[in-house]
Amino acid sequence: MGEQHIAIDGDTGRISLPNRFDILSSGKFRVPFVRLLANAQARKLVVDFSRLDYIDSMGIGTLISWERTCRDKGKALILDKCNAKVVKAFRQTGVERMFVFARTAA
């Protein structure tokens, strides 16, 4: 996990997820998320799903936690480029309405 997974551009911070966001990998994103959250300029935190193929309940739970934390801090969490399989996982767990989706991958 390196800094290549986070970026800030103006008022937008971006976290790029790997191909799997699960019980094994989600913990590696705690520090990058906190770093983006602490940045006063970043009012929007975008989670880039363009490489993601698999998410489990721990990954979804992590995103729920991130969404609540962002909301408490007055920031927006936006999920971007989710493929149909990932969107289906959110629907099946009943949490799809908790999130803002920027766009879905083709």
Tens-digit pLDDT profile for residues 44-81: 999 999 999 999 999 999 999 999 999 999 999 999 99
The reported pTM is 0.90
Q: Based on the structure, what is the number of domains in the chain? A: 1
The CATH number linked to 32 is 3.30.750.24
For 39, the domain range is 3-104
Which tokens hold the place of 14? 């971006």
SS3 for the chain is CCHHHEEEECCEEEEECCCEECCCCHHHHHHHHHHHHHCCCCCEEEEECCCCCEECHHHHHHHHHHHHHHHHCCCEEEEEEECHHHHHHHHHHCCHHHCEEEEECC
- Give the pLDDT band of residue 104 (cuts 50, 70, 90): low
> What is the pLDDT averaged over residues 83-105?
89
